[in-house]
Structure 1
Amino acid sequence: MRVLTACVPMSHTESSESVDASSVDVTSVDTSGAPTATGDAAQASLNPRQQALFDAVRRDGFLTVDELAARFDVTPQTIRRDINALAERKWVRRYHGGVGLPGGAENDAYDARQTHLADEKRRIAVRLAEQIPDHASIFINLGTTTEAVARALSRHRGLRVITNNLHVAAMMSSYADAEVIITGGVVRARDQGVTGEATLDFIRQFKVDFGIVGISAIDADGTLRDFDYREVRVAEAIIAQSRTVFLAADHSKFGRPALVRLGHLSQVDALFTDRPVPEGMAQVIAEAGTVVHVAD
């Protein structure tokens, strides 16, 4: 095992990156994804099906109208009325063909994300790791699902890993037959991610076999989104410098709102997830040419 740390000069733009307004989707809805000022009185005004629908959206992140109609044994028109009732309270957000949580300004705390859907992430990681051959070169970006992938690669031989995720670097540096390279840049205390212009400059020096990318949200039209502009720029660089791009995303990412546009599914060779994709997205994924792997 060898660990290499990048020594790249820091750019003066490290702490003053400007956001391209054309890449940012800002919504003026409540960002909590749950009842706030309305309280118990507003919840009492919901019928049992509407309350159950809201609970399902909070649990799954995104559901199609057809899925909900089948689940509650009612017509799609009835489900749309229920969605409208919840959307008026800003508890959910309407999407084409479905419903998801509102908001999108910031992600959940990193430690909370590490335990959320942990088994689903583990299964996704195992399935993805099966597609990585020994002696491959790979990028791994920041994220709890990509950490699970790093864990699933423990038995691989001869890997060369470049990462901006210090959790991944610490984990994989203990593997007997892996070389780990840490990008340059600024380390963030909240999640041990490395970002900034130095990170981008470093990544652009390499061309690897596989880019393993995690994501915060996938829109119904196939747009990939995240919450942090600096993380998005790192992911964009990884995608550009990878011969094959693997996206790891659990089912809660479909239809979830997030602030910054990262790219599109058409830039992804394979999507690894834990459930069949929402029916409304099947055609989008087919047109994108992305292969979908559903973990058992």
Structure 2
Amino acid sequence: MRRDNHARRQAIVELASTSGLASVDELSQRFGVTASTIRRDLAQLEQSGQLARTYGGARAILAHPEADLRQRLGEAHEAKRAIGHWAASQVRPGETILLDAGTTTAAVAHELRDREGLTVVTPGMTVLNELASADGVEVECLGGTLRQLSQAFLGPATEAALERRTFDRVFLGADSVTADRGICEADVRQTRLKELMTRQGKQVYLLVHAAKIGRAPFHAWAPMPRHWTLVTDQSVEEAALEPFRARGVDIAVVGQQGERVQ
């Protein structure tokens, strides 16, 4: 049954992305299920950031293949907050950590603002903004060339600075992730930087809400290391996690309050 739910919901996302809008009545007839079942599907897809609800149906969130930072801030807010809370709980006093650019890693930074004795290194403007007034946290920016769309520094200067550092924990974001290929991004410079990040940390975490798992919207990839942790929210379908479990990936599914539920 869970496999059927997952397949139907992914088909709903694809239909909305193709046509722009999808009505409850149309979806009910197309998939041979009740309107109440479709409404539950749409509620789940909205919670995971894959669709936006409309009166009588849903629409695709993104009209452009890559969302800018303002769009991303409005997607799956509660899931990102919960993931950020759990990720921050893994950080120990005195550690040096790397926070990738992005809105989910910014949620981690938000949770760390009142900590003492931490060093946080980042290439991301969102993280810098969250920690700008955190007196107990030493903040370092990797520098480089600012990519406006993602508000992230990247390029040779960023990579050179990164190669001279190691970290207790590395927290990465992504446009999407698959079990076989790893992190998917819109820009090959971003995947190059993320691959370097994975080499510099004792423990590597990938923080993605459920809508990003199993998708391949772009053609730039960063392979993941042998041992890493996938952190996602509780709206994720078990079928989406099975390929990762088969590869021995540690998976942390986080509840609404930031607690690990599996």
Class of the TM-score when normalised by the shorter of the 2 chains: 0.7 to 0.9
| Poorly superposed stretches of 4+, deviation over 6 Å | none
SS of equivalent residue, structure 2 residue 17 = coil
SS of equivalent residue, structure 2 residue 18 = coil
Deviation at 1:258, TM superposition (A): 2.4
In structure 2, distance between residues paired with 1:176 and 1:289: 39
- 2:228–2:250 Cα contact (<8 Å) kept: yes
The aligned residue for residue 50 of structure 1 is 30
In structure 2, distance between residues paired with 1:229 and 1:136: 30
What is the letter of the counterpart of residue 94 of structure 2? H
The aligned residue for residue 155 of structure 2 is 196
In structure 2, distance between residues paired with 1:206 and 1:269: 19
Q: 2:85 aligned to 100, 122, 126, which one? A: 126
SS of equivalent residue, structure 1 residue 256 = coil
Q: Which has the larger radius of gyration?
A: 1
The aligned residue for residue 274 of structure 1 is 233
User: What CA deviation, in whole Å up to 9, does each residue of 1:152-180 have, x standing for no partner?
Assistant: 11232211111100221232131111111
SS of equivalent residue, structure 2 residue 70 = helix
Provide the identity percentage. Answer: 24
Unaligned runs of 5+ in 2: 1-13, 32-37, 51-59, 256-262
- 1:133–1:156 Cα contact (<8 Å) kept: no
With normalisation by structure 1, the TM-score equals: 0.65
1:235 and 2:194 correspond: yes
Structure number with the bigger relative contact order (C-alpha 8 A, sep ≥ 6) is: 1
Alignment of 1:58-207 (within 5 A): 59=46, 60=48, 106-207=65-166
Deviation at 1:109, TM superposition (A): 1.9
With normalisation by structure 2, the TM-score equals: 0.73
In structure 1, distance between residues paired with 2:223 and 2:79: 24
- 2:102–2:126 Cα contact (<8 Å) kept: no
What is the letter of the counterpart of residue 157 of structure 1? E
- 1:222–1:285 Cα contact (<8 Å) kept: no
Deviation at 1:126, TM superposition (A): 0.5
What is the letter of the counterpart of residue 236 of structure 1? E
Q: 1:263 aligned to 209, 212, 223, which one? A: 223
- 1:33–1:58 Cα contact (<8 Å) kept: no
Q: 1:33 aligned to 10, 14, 17, which one? A: 17
User: What CA deviation, in whole Å up to 9, does each residue of 1:64-105 have, x standing for no partner?
Assistant: xxxxxxxxxxxxxxxxxxxxxxxxxxxxxxxxxxxxx9x998
RMSD: 3.1
